[in-house]
Amino acid sequence: MMFGARLQAAMAERGPLCVGIDPHDHLLDAWGLPRTAAGVREFSLRTVSQLAGSVAAVKPQSAFYEQYGSAGIAVLEETLAACRDQGLISVLDVKRGDIGSTMGAYARAYLDPASTLAADSITVSAYLGFGALEPAFELAEAHDRGVFVLALTSNPEGAEIQHAGREQSMPGFGDSVAGSIVAQVAARNAEARPGRFGLVVGATIGSAARELGFEPTACNGPILAPGVGAQGAGIDELIEVFGADAIASDQILATTSRAVLSAGPDGVRAAAQALNESLTQVR
């Protein structure tokens, strides 16, 4: 089963929620854990254990591990291995985007099964040119992995590039830089539905997607939607951005972090299940 179909099947079975594993300092403090690689290890493995069988996917944020150097990277390796052992689809949030051999090295690090850092999928940035991501796309195809390309992010600074206009307008994609990215992802997914290549579109962007002419179903792949819960997005906001049809078809992987992790080490499962149940109401 291709990555897109695997993810969709997991969402159909376990709900559309993806929980970010973001070991912020304040969360380590709240969990009674030290601000060290050892604390991050305990935090991450507890979270994976609590979420197993309850959600479709988890999204470790690489930066929170990298800050502890080699010890933190070792913890990230162990966390990804735990996800595999527990049957959780991993979306490694690395947002890599480079050119040539450098992008090839990033791709091998995160998408080649021979790597100890290999994940089921990763996030990438296309702002050095969509074609520069080819090494990631090639390895994802070779090893049945997924790639989520940043398209419309929720940070205000992103709009100056993502919303910028282009001369060519494409039905279903609009005439923005973000629309061009969506169109190129759709082209990569042309031979499979759902495709293994997806988008990152913030759940808190409101009417921006509609105003730019973006139709979620146009990309033919999954959409990672961060911002649910503590960042302000709920069912109404998801429907405003993506429409009920896209959500009901298990295309939108709604992502939260603090709304679940702030429940504490013994409350993660219950918090995730409650949020997951509220999201499945849209179906």
Residues annotated as catalytic (active site), given as ranges: 95
Assign 3-state DSSP to the chain and report helix, strand, coil percentages, each to 5.
50, 20, 30
The SS3 assignment for 234 reads coil
CB 261 within 8 A of CB 268: yes
Distance (Å, whole) CA 38 – CA 34: 7
62-79: burial string, b at 16+ Cβ within 10 Å, e else: bebbeebeeebbebbebb
**Residue type present at position 20:** G
Secondary element (H or E) of residue 210: helix 208-211
Burial class (CB in 10 A: 0-12, 13-18, 19+), 114: exposed
DSSP track, 8-27: HHHHHHH-SEEEEE---HHH
Report the chain's terminal Cα–Cα distance, integer Å: 24
Query: What is the three-class DSSP state of 48?
Result: helix
Helices (H), the chain: 3-14, 25-30, 37-51, 63-66, 69-86, 100-111, 134-143, 159-162, 177-188, 208-211, 235-242, 244-248, 258-261, 268-280
